[in-house]
Amino acid sequence: MPVRRRTDDTRPAALRYNAAMLSGQGLRARLPAGGWAAELYVVASTGSTNTMAADLARAGAPEGTLVVADHQSAGRGRGGTRWHTPPGTAIAMSVVLRPVAIRPLRWTGLGALAVVEALRREGLTSRIKWPNDVLLDGRKVAGVLTESAWDGGRIDYVVLGIGVNVLRASVPGGELDFPATSIEAVGGFAPDRERLIEAILGALEYWYPKLAGEGFLRSWESAQAFLGERVSVETGEGLVEGRLLGLGPEGEARVELASGAVTVCGMEARRLRPIDGNRSRAAAG
């Protein structure tokens, strides 16, 4: 199917810097025929790729529809955090899913694991900070946001959004919830963004039909940062502190308390943080 490229780019000329702009035709040529992204939207600028993908999903877009933006001005993360993507410096992409089973944590894990595997192909070892961040050298390089819509008692669609900091200029300034970095800052190179998108989409498409299986859970768990380390998890009932044991059946964080009891943190949990300087070890292993 044809690539649909928006040309209504109203950004100031000062923002159009000499970064390789995303090419709809170039990305289409990289993607295998008959797979996801049969409907591919590559836009110069948008407020949020998740919002655009949701609009398309409500209009009947099929599973696998992909939205990619060169510049995202009003992206959002879990808990309402803002995710700004300067032009030509990062990856901002969203995929439409139409799952049957309700597995919200596994949907998020799917996106995070896909980023980890794509970075591995670039020679970079990253880890997942449960539930939705990807760390490189102990700092946040990518985030995942899933948003769903319901039709009565069934899921109508899920939008899986992924943001990856590629160039140094993509790292936001000011006070951050967790220290951030970029692929360029850690790896010393700037990978081709279209190649990264291809790798992420390929991993998503590979794992999606395996989402309910033990193989996916084990791969997702093995990519977790801070396994065996002391962490704190913010939940709706307060702060949980203990040793991160791994993931539960649906991807919940299993934390061993000082008493020896094991508690499970699910979708109600807001964020996980390392305790006692464990952050520096997040990229190891």
Work out the average pLDDT over 28-51. Answer: 94
- Whether residue 171 sits in one domain with residue 116: yes
Domain span at residue 24? 4-222
Higher-confidence residue of 68 and 87: namely 68
For 166-261, where are the E strands, in sequence order? 230-235, 238-247, 253-256
- Whether residue 143 sits in one domain with residue 98: yes
- Whether residue 240 sits in one domain with residue 210: no
- Whether residue 71 sits in one domain with residue 171: yes
Number of domains in the chain: 2
Q: What pLDDT, on the 0 to 100 scale, is given for residue 58?
A: 97
On whether the CB atoms of residues 230 and 239 are closer than 8 A, the answer is: no
- Whether residue 200 sits in one domain with residue 267: no
- Whether residue 234 sits in one domain with residue 96: no
Predicted confidence band of residue 2 (pLDDT cuts 50, 70, 90)? very low
Among 222, 250, 267, the domain-final residue is 222
Q: Give CA–CA dist 66/49, Å, rounded.
A: 9
Half-sphere exposure of 125 (CA within 13 A, CB side): 11
What average pLDDT does the structure give for the chain?
88
- Whether residue 271 sits in one domain with residue 130: no
Tell me 141's DSSP state. E
Question: 120 Cβ partners below 8 Å, 6+ apart?
Answer: 126
- Whether residue 239 sits in one domain with residue 206: no
- Whether residue 36 sits in one domain with residue 82: yes
3-class DSSP assignment, residue 59: coil
Bridge partners, residue 66, by sequence: 40, 95
3-class DSSP assignment, residue 39: coil
Predicted confidence band of residue 168 (pLDDT cuts 50, 70, 90)? confident
Q: What pLDDT, on the 0 to 100 scale, is given for residue 74?
A: 76
Note the pTM of the prediction, 2 decimals: 0.88
Bridge partners, residue 85, by sequence: 72
State both tokens at 197: 């998108």
Q: What pLDDT, on the 0 to 100 scale, is given for residue 6?
A: 40
What is the sign of the dihedral through the CA atoms of 85, 90, 96 and 101? negative
Q: Give CA–CA dist 10/175, Å, rounded.
A: 29
Tell me 24's DSSP state. H
* Range name among 26-35, 78-87, 102-111, 158-167 with the lowest pLDDT average: 78-87
Among 182, 201, 222, the domain-final residue is 222
On whether the CB atoms of residues 253 and 272 are closer than 8 A, the answer is: yes
- Whether residue 51 sits in one domain with residue 182: yes
Among 202, 222, 242, the domain-final residue is 222
Instruction: Specify the CATH number for the domain of residue 133.
Output: 3.30.930.10
